[in-house]
């Protein structure tokens, strides 16, 4: 018997074994034992490996509605973490990717989903609850291809799974119907911008994900972190190298940006603080109809005084202002004065809060990806763009107290911390 015939015989054996396992999965449904699910995934991988040895065609392709990305740079470490979370033996339903607006959560989730093996996930489904997007010309509402609430997301998921009737079903039965459809689908779900859902609906979505069939996984993006039965990844700024690659890609279609010197491109990276959305927005001001920006410096200055309706900082941070509690608002306004990490008692004194209340408020703000903290959660810092927006939009806790000089003097003695001057509060 030749090597080729031996391989073909092995493939036939594995396929018969796979058929038995899939029949068991169909019989058990949602109660499929983990060893059956893992057996299916392992057998599929073995079949794919053997068929590759025979040179049979191209690798399997997933049935997918994932959006196309025009480019993607960097994030190698994050992609590796996501791949681990999607592995068959990984615990939990997948990964939550959280971080501030525009930092690249959606692009990372989509790119990672494209990279996930089709052998593990024959179905890849993208759903978004996003309601608006920022273009160089301004903030635009989204009406198409979005599901704005939990029930709409389930209805759209049912449609993607081939059952339009789920969208007309009794809402009380809809989660179960979708889970039944997912039971044999081996699907990878990408659920985008879940922070737009009201808190009760967001909690219901995470409860639904807790009950995903074992062969399914999910990637979720949100500006807010919560208690979940999955891994979480806080996304930070793009590396300088990846950002410069992004700027180079944008420059291919923008003559004015193409003329920018290496120093000007570094200036763009610094002004946007590594935020991909801000990089694209600033670059988009160069040569845009109606724009007077001809250089990177012009566009960066325009960002600082952007008009209503096309203010990138308002787009990134503005929707949070209306949902903050009074304690969160006071803590955020106080923290905006610190250029370096500030300890909870310092924020509490400026904000006029009891230290426990300040700690709770700062923890909640960290969960919203608005600020960073040390590992112990005892010192917090507000990134520069968020601090500038907070000083512009929030009432200053020292504006009418007459205690600015005393507070500044005290806190300048602590660990080299410096309280930033707020122009509107200086007479």
Q: Please, which pLDDT band fits residue 269 given cuts at 50, 70 and 90?
A: very high
Q: How far is CA 376 from CA 129, 359, 386, in A?
A: 33, 12, 22
**Which is nearest to 364 in space by CA: 351, 377, 349, 383?**
377
Average pLDDT over residues 220-224: 88
Q: How far is CA 205 from CA 153, 224, 228, in A?
A: 9, 14, 11
Query: What mean pLDDT, rounded, does the chain reach?
Result: 83
Q: Please, which pLDDT band fits residue 425 given cuts at 50, 70 and 90?
A: very low
Provide the pLDDT for residue 419. 44
Q: What gap in Å lies between CA 175 and CA 205, rounded to an integer?
A: 9
- Yes or no: say if 380 and 332 are a contact pair by the CB < 8 Å rule: no
Residue 115, pLDDT > 50, answer: yes
Provide the pLDDT for residue 338. 84
How many contiguous H segments (helices) and E segments (strands) does the chain have? 18, 11
Residue 132, pLDDT > 90, answer: no
pLDDT tens-digit series, residues 362-400: 988 887 777 888 888 889 988 877 888 888 888 776 555
Beta strand pairing call for 187-192 and 123-128: parallel
The overall pTM is greater than 0.85: no
Q: Which of 157-161, 260-264, 413-417, 421-425 has the lowest mean pLDDT?
A: 421-425
Residue 307, pLDDT > 50, answer: yes
Average pLDDT over residues 336-350: 87
Provide the pLDDT for residue 336. 85
Provide the pLDDT for residue 420. 46
**Which is nearest to 351 in space by CA: 411, 423, 301, 262?**
411
Average pLDDT over residues 88-100: 88
Provide the pLDDT for residue 405. 40
Residue 229, pLDDT > 50, answer: yes
CA 377 to chain centre: 22
Residue 413, pLDDT > 70, answer: no
């Amino acid at each position: 018997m030749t090597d080729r015939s031996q391989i073909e015989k092995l493939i036939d054996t594995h396929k018969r074994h796979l058929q038995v396992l899939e029949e068991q999965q169909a019989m058990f449904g949602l109660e499929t034992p983990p060893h059956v699910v893992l057996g299916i995934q392992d057998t599929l991988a073995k079949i794919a490996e053997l068929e590759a040895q025979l040179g049979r065609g191209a690798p399997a392709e997933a049935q997918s509605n994932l959006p196309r990305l025009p480019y993607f740079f960097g994030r190698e470490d994050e992609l590796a973490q996501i791949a681990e979370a999607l592995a068959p033996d990984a615990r939990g339903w997948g990964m939550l990717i959280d971080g501030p607006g525009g930092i690249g959560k959606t692009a990372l989730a989509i790119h990672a989903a494209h990279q996930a093996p089709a052998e593990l996930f024959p179905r890849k489904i993208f759903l978004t609850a996003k309601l608006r997007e920022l273009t160089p010309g301004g903030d635009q509402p989204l009406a198409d291809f979005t599901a704005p609430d939990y029930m709409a997301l389930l209805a759209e998921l049912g449609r993607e799974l081939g059952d339009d009737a789920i969208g007309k079903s009794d809402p009380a039965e809809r989660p179960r119907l979708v889970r039944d459809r997912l039971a044999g689908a081996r699907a990878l779900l990408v659920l985008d911008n879940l922070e737009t859902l009201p808190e009760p609906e967001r909690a219901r979505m995470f409860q639904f994900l807790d009950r995903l069939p074992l062969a399914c996984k999910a990637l979720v993006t949100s500006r807010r972190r919560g208690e979940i039965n999955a891994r979480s990844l806080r996304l930070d700024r793009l590396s300088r190298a990846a950002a410069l690659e992004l700027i180079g890609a944008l420059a291919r279609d923008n003559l004015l940006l193409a003329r920018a010197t290496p120093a000007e491109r570094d200036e763009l990276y610094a002004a946007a603080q590594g935020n991909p959305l801000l990089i694209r927005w600033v670059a988009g001001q160069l040569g845009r109809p109606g724009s007077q920006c001809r250089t990177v410096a012009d566009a960066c200055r325009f960002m600082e005084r952007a008009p209503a309706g096309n203010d990138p900082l308002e787009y990134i941070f503005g929707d949070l202002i209306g949902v903050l509690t009074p304690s969160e608002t006071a803590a955020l306004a106080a923290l905006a004065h610190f250029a370096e990490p500030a300890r909870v008692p310092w924020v509490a004194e400026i904000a006029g809060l009891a230290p426990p209340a300040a700690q709770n408020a700062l923890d909640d703000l960290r969960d919203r990806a608005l600020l960073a903290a040390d590992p112990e959660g005892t010192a917090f810092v507000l990134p520069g763009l968020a601090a500038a927006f907070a000083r512009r939009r929030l009432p200053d806790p020292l504006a009418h107290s007459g205690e600015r000089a005393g507070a500044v003097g005290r806190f300048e003695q602590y660990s080299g911390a410096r309280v930033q001057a707020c122009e509107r509060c200086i007479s």
